[in-house]
Amino acid sequence: MTERLVVIGGDAAGMSAASQARRRRGPDDLRIVAFEKGAHASYSACGIPYLVGGEVADPEELVSRRPEVFRDEFDIDLRLHSEVVEIDLDRRAVAVRDTDTGAGGGGGGAPRWEPFDRLVVATGAVPNRPDVPGVETEGVYGVQTLDDGTALLDAVAEKPERAVVVGGGYIGLEMAEALVRRGIRVSLVDLAGQPMSTLDPDMGALVADALRDLGVELHLGERLEGFEESGGRVSAVRTENRTLPADLVVLGLGTRPNSALAEAAGIPVGETSGIRTDRRMRTAAEGVWAAGDCVETFHLVSRRPVAIALGTHANKQGRVAGINIGGGYAAFPGVIGTAISKVCEYEVARTGLSTTEALRAGFEPVGVVVESTTRAGYYPGALPMKTKMIADRATGRLLGAQIVGREGSAKRIDTLAIAVWHEMTVEEMTGLDLSYAPPFSPVWDPVLITARKTAQRLEELRGRD
């Protein structure tokens, strides 16, 4: 008997799950229907800042697979403009509303019920919006969907003079740079005392310097109070200390799992508000999987549940769900908080726990920062980079690492990430057989130098015990 798989959400997680399930089960065995409420499926939301900044010329370039490819090559019935508004686990059906009817959009008729035997919830994340007056004013943009991206592109085309970015996380910084590239004067407001609060303060300070060099006006440690409007559009951003004129505002305050639909259906969500799954991405409800930004996952170092919205996790989790639905076995092991970003001429990356996170998790962290170069010092194009390692004082285990440096530095975070993953000690790391040639690193790669210096520091501390 043919089963029917319904996928809610047509981006990375949902479409990876659908594709993997199809790879293992043919159309006679498994019908696959995917509902996407927006106008696009399977696109790179992470590419939006580069679209706005002009590095990417056309929104279509961010689409990795066009809808007809899913239909024609994968036999996946992908339906755009189709919002699932309810999951009924007893009826084994979802209620779908057309979002493309009428001039105002937003569903003319009653939702229709679509049955499922198996269900994948891949509803993504919702951007955090500050609870302040004026947040719904025109000209205040989120950066979440490709539709947000094209709206921002239109706004930029009108040559605004001043923009304010609220929030100094990855997206906030990437957007600040994008707007500067468009010739716009940019201010950045963040309640935190540094941009990229997932970095330790000493490393975050380097990022702040990079932003100032780019001409971004930083207002750190300042509470947002609201948005002012003029003629129906945003005209200024008010903080506790000042009023910043703004023709355009970008919100970069992070996201939270979009789990309301699942929760309303009785599918358990965790303390992070992400949907709970096991390693195979199964929810507690029979025959229901979840994947991507809407789920809660496990942090392998802190051993706590976390919700991290990131395309790479979404793709992996979707793949895992799809393999399992297809009758195979796959597991998503968890995350260690690896992230990377480019800010002007600087590359920024982190993995594992920051010092604050390590303390919170009960470790006694020892941090060591080493200044080095991307290539052998004498080789042309050697550029400076700083690497920080955070190790557990008692065991020497690498808990986390951060890199801020010029071109060619930050991808080294992957090396550090696998070391964190395998719970290596910094002393063990000094023996790693990493690649060396003058165009690629000093004879001691920055990773190895930092491991060595951290091991030395731990030894000195032991000497004092």
Closest contact distance (angstroms) between CB of 101 and a second copy is: 32
| Minimum separation from the CB atom of position 3 to a second copy (A) | 22
Q: Are 11 and 48 in contact (CB under 8 A)?
A: no
Output 157 or 329, the one with its CB closest to a second copy: 329
Nearer to a second copy, 39 or 432 (CB): 432
- Return all residues near 157 (Cβ < 8 A) that are at least 6 apart: none
Identify whether the C-beta of residue 308 lies closer than 8 Å to the C-beta of residue 337. yes
Rounded distance between C-alpha atoms, residue 306 and residue 134, angstroms: 31
Catalytic: which of 23, 39, 46, 85?
A: 46
Strand partners, 272: none
In angstroms, what is the minimal distance from the CB of 33 to a second copy? 24
CA distance 250 to 164: 6
Q: Can you spell out the DSSP letters for 381-427?
A: T--EEEEEEEEETTT-BEEEEEEEESTTSGGGHHHHHHHHHTT-BHH
Distances (CA, A) of 190 to 140, 352, 435: 16, 23, 40
* Residue pair 319/303 in contact by the 8 Å Cβ criterion: no
Is residue 344 part of the annotated active site? The answer reads no
Minimum CB distance to a second copy, residue 353 (Å) = 13
- Residue 439 Cβ, how far from a second copy at the closest point, in Å? 4
- Please return the burial class of 274, using the count of CB atoms within 10 Å of its CB with bins 0-12, 13-18 and 19+: buried
Distances (CA, A) of 31 to 5, 6, 286, 288: 6, 8, 18, 16
Residue with Cβ nearer a second copy (95 or 214): 214
Q: Residue 107: phi, psi to the nearest 5?
A: 60, 105
Q: Provide, rounded to whole angstroms, the least separation between the CB of residue 41 and a second copy.
A: 15
State the nearest-atom distance from the C-beta of 277 to a second copy, in Å: 14
Residue 248 to residues 11, 144, 186, 316, 428, Cα–Cα distance (Å): 27, 16, 10, 35, 50
Structure tokens at 304: 């706590």
Q: Rounded to whole angstroms, how far apart are CA atoms 427 and 425?
A: 5
The least distance separating a second copy from the CB of residue 62, rounded to whole angstroms, comes to 6
Torsion over CA: 80, 81, 82, 84 (sign): positive
| 144-to-48, 97, 253 alpha-carbon distances in Å | 8, 21, 11
226 with 133: CB under 8 angstroms? Answer: yes
Q: Which is nearer to a second copy, 361 or 434 (CB)?
A: 434
Residue 266 or 431 having the CB closest to a second copy: 431
**In degrees rounded to 5, what are phi and psi of residue 46?**
-65, -15
Which active-site residues does the annotation give?
Answer: 46
